[in-house]
């Protein structure tokens, strides 16, 4: 079989299988992310069958997947919403940051992975999956609940932290000096500040530039701008993903809504490839030795996320049931944890066991998160009733 024919055959088979897995995940009521990772593990290094004809496409597709994930996340927010959310949630956000990054940092040092490994694993355990959380809240009909703004404000804080964290991580993984790291932090702070101020004052002009009554024109303009900004940001050591996120913030109103509608199918396609490629590059044989640590992290960080959400909701006077729903909603980890681990994997700056641990951890948390959100209400009611009697 010719090289092109082989690539088309393998790519078609991958997309078809991913479609079947996504349908299965929908039937079960969980995120398809664990299935995508498992597919990559099954057909990658050390798996049942190794795909060899789509390497170049899959690598580029995975990079585009990260850009689109962050771009559409940015399109969900306006600069005003980000600033307001930051003011309202910064205390809860800091509690969230400390409680949920420390377990990852501690495990990394215990396993001898050093400061770089600690920086990576701390980010993996810290960041909740905005995509999974939003879908679970929508599926359970909780978007209008009193505790939901607390959940969303914490997610906003986490996303802003990612805009600072990813450039730092990129610089550290590249092996830059201490002063180079400070430069990366300074550049990221300046870029974020400029974009937020520009979006507040001139966002309507950026939106007008991207706007068009023709959906195809909006698709080409926004996608082209995102890839262009991502490339420039990467060249400046500010992380391509962060560049796309900041562009998304700058686009608002009806333009953002139209862009989201036309880009969502592309995001789903390329993001699926991103998770598959991550799985392809992870040896399944490296997971069993670290599964115990993955379970330990899952237990500890489930508890810390629940505490974070419950504590933040309590500060606003929300009742016990609402507090527990807020905490359980934040449990899921997914796309951003894999983005972090993927950057480390691509840089080759961490142990392969760390990547395996991150994979096992996300597999557990992407499944556990939706389950926790569903069962927390009946369990809380049962405990309350028994305590009352």
Average pLDDT over residues 125-150: 85
* Residue 47 predicted with pLDDT over 70: no
Burial class of residue 83, CB neighbours in 10 A (0-12, 13-18, 19+): middle
Q: In this predicted model, what pLDDT tens digit does every residue of 351-382 receive, in sequence order?
A: 888 989 999 999 999 989 888 988 888 887 77
Alpha-carbon span 141 to 135, nearest angstrom: 10
Give CA separation, 297 vs 140, 329, 353, 378, in Å: 26, 18, 15, 25
- Nearest Cα residue to 62 out of 334, 265, 338, 270: 270
Pick the most confident of 77-86, 183-192, 239-248, 347-356. 347-356
The domain limits of the chain are: 34-382
Question: Does the pLDDT of residue 178 top 70, yes or no?
Answer: no
Residues 6+ apart with CB under 8 A from 116: 172, 173, 344, 349, 350
Provide the whole-model pTM: 0.82
Residue 50 near residue 164 (C-beta atoms within 8 A): no
More confident of the two residues 200 and 4: 4
The span from the CA of 10 to the CA of 84, in Å, is 47
Q: Are 248 and 68 in contact (CB under 8 A)?
A: no
pLDDT at 327: 93
- The four Cα atoms 333, 338, 339, 342 give a dihedral, to 10 degrees, of 160
Tokens (6 digits) for 274: 């991103």
| pLDDT (average), residues 36-58 | 72
Mean pLDDT (whole number) for 82-92: 75
Between 42 and 197, the more confident residue is 42
Distance, in Å, from the CA atom of 165 to the CA atom of 178, rounded to the nearest integer, reads 15
* Rounded mean pLDDT, 83-112: 88
**254 by DSSP, 3-state: which?**
helix
Q: What is the mean pLDDT of residues 275-286?
A: 82
Residue 153 pLDDT: 84
* H or E element that contains 273: helix 253-280
The two tokens of residue 107 are: 């495990």
Mean pLDDT of 100-124: 94
Structure confidence at residue 180 (pLDDT): 62
Lowest mean pLDDT among 212-226, 269-283, 317-331: 269-283
CA distance 233 to 192: 12
Q: For position 45, what pLDDT does the model report?
A: 66
- The domain defined by 34-382 carries CATH number 3.40.50.300: no
The whole-number average pLDDT for the span 99-111 is: 95
The confidence score (pLDDT) of residue 85 equals: 66
Question: Which of the two residues, 100 and 188, has the higher pLDDT score?
Answer: 100
DSSP letter (8 states) at residue 334: -
pLDDT of residue 99: 95
Residue 95 confidence class, pLDDT cut points 50, 70, 90: very high
Is the four-CA dihedral 131, 135, 136, 138 of positive or negative sign? positive
Handedness of CA 279, 282, 286, 292 (dihedral sign): negative
Q: What is the mean pLDDT of residues 322-331?
A: 92
Give the H or E element holding residue 286: none
């Amino acid at each position: 079989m010719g090289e092109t024919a082989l690539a088309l055959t393998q790519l078609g088979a991958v997309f078809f299988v991913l479609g079947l897995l996504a349908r299965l995940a929908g039937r079960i009521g969980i995120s398809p992310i664990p299935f995508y990772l498992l597919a990559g593990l099954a057909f990658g290094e050390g798996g049942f069958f190794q795909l060899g004809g789509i390497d170049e496409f899959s690598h580029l597709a995975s990079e585009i997947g990260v850009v689109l994930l962050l771009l559409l996340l940015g399109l969900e927010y306006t600069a005003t919403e980000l600033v307001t959310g930051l003011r309202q949630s910064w205390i809860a956000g800091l509690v969230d940051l400390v409680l949920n990054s420390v377990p990852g940092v501690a495990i990394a040092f215990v396993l001898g992975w050093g400061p770089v490994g600690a920086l990576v694993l701390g980010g993996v355990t810290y960041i909740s999956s905005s995509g999974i959380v939003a879908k679970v809240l929508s599926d359970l009909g909780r978007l209008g609940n009193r505790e939901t703004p607390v959940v969303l404000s914490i997610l906003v804080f986490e996303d802003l932290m990612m805009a600072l964290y990813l450039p730092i991580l990129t610089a550290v993984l590249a092996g830059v000096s201490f002063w180079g790291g400070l430069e990366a932090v300074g550049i990221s702070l300046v870029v974020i500040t400029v974009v937020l101020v520009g979006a507040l004052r001139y966002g309507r002009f950026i939106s007008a530039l991207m706007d068009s009554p023709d959906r195809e024109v909006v698709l080409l303009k926004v996608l082209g701008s995102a890839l262009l900004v991502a490339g420039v940001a990467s060249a400046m050591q500010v992380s391509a993903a962060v560049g796309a996120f900041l562009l998304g913030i700058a686009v608002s109103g009806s333009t953002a809504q139209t862009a989201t509608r036309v880009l969502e199918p592309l995001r789903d396609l390329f993001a699926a490839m991103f998770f598959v490629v991550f799985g392809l590059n992870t040896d399944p044989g490296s997971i069993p030795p670290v599964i115990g640590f993955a379970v330990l992290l899952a237990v500890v960080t489930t508890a810390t996320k629940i505490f974070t959400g419950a504590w933040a909701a309590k500060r606003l006077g929300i009742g016990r049931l609402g507090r527990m729903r807020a905490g359980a909603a934040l449990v899921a980890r997914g796309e951003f944890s894999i983005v972090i681990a993927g950057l480390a994997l691509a840089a080759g700056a961490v142990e392969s066991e760390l990547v395996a641990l991150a994979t096992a951890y996300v597999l557990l948390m992407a499944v556990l998160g939706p389950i926790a959100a569903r069962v927390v209400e009946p369990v809380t009611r049962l405990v309350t009733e028994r305590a009352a009697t």
